[in-house]
């Protein structure tokens, strides 16, 4: 660690405005200058290791995962607002609950959710106003939120309550990002009452979820949705999750599942709008599955639409950095990682490393098709990897492929923008994404 290029507190202070706004150019500059590793030494506490190295990332997430756990950024800061669901916990608590939540996302179970997903997607896409150029983030955000909400509760009549939940989720995420980016203002956030205000909002969202769960239990209905699967999950001794734990897990599914998917949908649509030739192929594939878009899922081969989404998530990974703390001393190749090291793996930089991807900045969905370069999975981590890999990865892919198929059956997309602003918050969000939906001529 000590022989690594070190960014001093003064250098960080000098760039603080840029880092606060968007830290990615700062990371890029340091990686370009120093190679695949550098460390930032805060005035107090341990240095943070930044890396875009594929071998180290693979080791930390997969082979050597037992020696690493999530950092306090997630297990403490996020957990404050979201509770201790599988995203925000570690150790035995995480292991036990991951075992209980994971079966709900098994491919076979997802088959029964496809109908719910399709109905929710179609309902949201009804709101498209043809030929008008608009920022599509609000539409994609609602779409992704409604898909999670309907898959959990299969109840279209609770939309108002879901809107409140969405608003609280967004407001608490903004607070969290302020706390992470401006830790030196922690005292002020407490003193001004901002943290307490957001904690009260978190309580309100828990109350909403509690009522919905009560209503389900009171109705005696069986729905075969995610909530029923979580209610049926049992610890090894045969007992169910406590109400508090169940609410934690549901809150986590909302937080982890909606913004990431909305971001990926926006980036994909923007890139397709910028690449009409790619879009033509997408339209042709969507036409083949006009009456049954779900036919694109789980076929023998991968659909071209999926390749486009994967390539969009390479260029714009919604989870752009993954963090871990070393639980014990470790050695990876020649590199020694002392216990307690905080590691930030830049997925954004790893996905754009020219040494592996070649023309890394270009949008080429073929990279993920039949002719994919060998070793892609060692350099590609949109859903993470290893035991903590995204539990909703298949869910998200089903949802995104279906949304794209349904959109391109009826529309072409265009954009007046040549480039896209990005806004790295907890997830990598796009700035405004101006898109025009042009009705396609039916053949």
Does the footprint of ligand HEM cover residue 233 (CB under 6 A)? no
| 87/201 with CB nearer ligand HEM | 87
Contact yes or no for 86/252 (Cβ under 8 A): yes
Rounded least distance, CB 391 to ligand HEM, Å: 5
> Residue 290's CB: how many other CB atoms inside 10 A?
13
3-state secondary structure of 66: helix
Q: Which residues contact 204 (CB under 8 A, 6 or more apart)?
A: 164, 168
Rounded least distance, CB 129 to ligand HEM, Å: 25
Does the footprint of ligand HEM cover residue 57 (CB under 6 A)? no
| 315/396 with CB nearer ligand HEM | 396
Count CA within 13 A, CB hemisphere, residue 17. Answer: 1
Does the footprint of ligand HEM cover residue 153 (CB under 6 A)? no
Cα dihedral 408, 108, 383, 246 in deg (nearest 10): 110
Provide the mask over 359-388, with x wherever binding to ligand HEM is found by CB under 6 A and - wherever it is not. Answer: -----------------------xxx---x
Binding segment for ligand HEM among 162-170, 195-203, 259-267, 351-359 (CB under 6 A)?
259-267
Select the residue interacting with ligand HEM from 24, 117, 247, 256 (CB under 6 A): 256
Select the residue interacting with ligand HEM from 64, 83, 392, 430 (CB under 6 A): 392
Rounded least distance, CB 255 to ligand HEM, Å: 8
Beta bridge partners of 414: 436
Using alpha carbons, list the distances in angstroms from residue 226 to 231, 318, 391, 398, 403: 9, 23, 13, 15, 20
Radius of gyration of the chain (CA): 22
Q: Which helix (H) or strand (E) holds 21?
A: helix 16-21
Does the footprint of ligand HEM cover residue 90 (CB under 6 A)? no
Q: How far is the C-alpha of 303 from the C-alpha of 288, rounded, in Å?
A: 11
The first and second tokens of residue 45, run together, are: 């506490």
Rounded least distance, CB 93 to ligand HEM, Å: 11
Q: Which of residues 316-345 bind ligand HEM (CB under 6 A)?
A: 318-319, 322
The residue whose Cβ lies closest to ligand HEM is 392
| 278/313 with CB nearer ligand HEM | 313
Binding segment for ligand HEM among 45-53, 183-191, 257-265, 266-274 (CB under 6 A)?
257-265
Contact yes or no for 434/416 (Cβ under 8 A): yes
Provide the mask over 59-88, with x wherever binding to ligand HEM is found by CB under 6 A and - wherever it is not. Answer: ---------------------------xx-
- Binding residues for ligand HEM, rule CB under 6 A, total 23
Q: Which of residues 261-280 bind ligand HEM (CB under 6 A)?
A: 261, 264
Rounded least distance, CB 187 to ligand HEM, Å: 29
Q: How far is the C-alpha of 166 from the C-alpha of 286, rounded, in Å?
A: 30
Rounded least distance, CB 358 to ligand HEM, Å: 23
Rounded least distance, CB 230 to ligand HEM, Å: 12
3-state secondary structure of 425: coil
From the list 174, 349, 143, the residue with the least C-alpha distance to 261 is 143
3-state secondary structure of 4: coil
Q: How far is the C-alpha of 377 from the C-alpha of 409, rounded, in Å?
A: 31
Select the residue interacting with ligand HEM from 57, 75, 173, 260 (CB under 6 A): 260
Contact yes or no for 93/84 (Cβ under 8 A): yes
Contact yes or no for 87/256 (Cβ under 8 A): yes
Q: How far is the C-alpha of 137 from the C-alpha of 12, rounded, in Å?
A: 32
Site residues (vs ligand HEM, CB under 6 A): 86-87, 98, 148, 252-253, 256-257, 260-261, 264, 318-319, 322, 382-384, 388, 390-392, 395-396
């Amino acid at each position: 660690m000590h022989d690594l290029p070190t960014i001093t507190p003064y250098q960080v202070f000098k760039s603080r405005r840029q880092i606060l706004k968007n830290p990615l150019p700062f990371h890029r500059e340091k990686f370009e200058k120093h190679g695949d590793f550098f460390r930032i030494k805060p005035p107090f506490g341990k240095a943070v290791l930044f890396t875009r190295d594929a071998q180290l990332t693979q080791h930390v997430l997969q082979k050597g995962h037992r020696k690493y756990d999530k950092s306090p950024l997630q297990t403490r800061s996020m957990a404050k607002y979201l509770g201790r669901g599988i995203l925000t916990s570690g150790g035995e608590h995480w292991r036990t609950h991951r075992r209980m939540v994971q079966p709900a996302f098994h491919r076979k179970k997802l088959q029964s959710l496809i109908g719910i997903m399709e109905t929710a997607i179609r309902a949201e896409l009804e709101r498209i106003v043809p030929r008008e150029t608009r920022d599509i983030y609000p539409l994609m955000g609602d779409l992704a939120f409604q898909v999670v909400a309907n898959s959990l509760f299969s109840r279209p009549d609770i939309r108002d309550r879901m809107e409140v939940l969405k608003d609280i989720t967004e407001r608490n995420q903004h607070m969290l990002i302020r706390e992470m980016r401006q830790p030196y203002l922690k005292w002020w956030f407490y003193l001004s009452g901002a943290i307490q205000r957001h904690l009260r909002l978190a309580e309100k969202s828990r109350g909403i979820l509690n009522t919905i769960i009560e209503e389900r239990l009171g109705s005696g209905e069986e729905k075969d949705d995610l909530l029923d699967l979580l209610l049926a999950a049992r610890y090894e001794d045969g007992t169910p999750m406590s109400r508090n734990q169940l609410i934690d897990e549901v809150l986590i599914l909302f937080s982890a599942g909606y913004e990431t998917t909305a971001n990926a949908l926006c980036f994909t649509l923007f890139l397709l709008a910028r690449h009409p030739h790619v879009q033509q192929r997408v339209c042709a594939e969507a036409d083949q599955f006009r009456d049954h878009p779900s036919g694109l899922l789980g076929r023998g081969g991968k659909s071209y639409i999926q390749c486009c989404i994967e390539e969009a998530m390479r260029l714009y990974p919604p989870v752009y950095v993954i963090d871990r703390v070393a639980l014990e001393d470790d050695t990876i190749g020649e590199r020694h990682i002392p216990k307690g090291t905080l590691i930030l793996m830049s997925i954004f930089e790893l996905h754009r490393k020219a040494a592996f991807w070649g023309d890394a900045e270009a949008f080429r969905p073929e990279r993920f098709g039949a002719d994919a370069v060998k070793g892609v999975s060692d350099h590609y981590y949109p859903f993470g990897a290893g035991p903590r890999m995204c539990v909703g990865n298949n869910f998200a892919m089903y949802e995104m492929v279906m949304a794209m198929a349904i959109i391109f059956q009826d529309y072409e997309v265009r954009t007046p923008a040549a480039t896209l602003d990005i806004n790295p918050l907890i997830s990598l969000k796009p700035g405004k994404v101006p898109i025009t939906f042009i009705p396609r001529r039916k053949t």
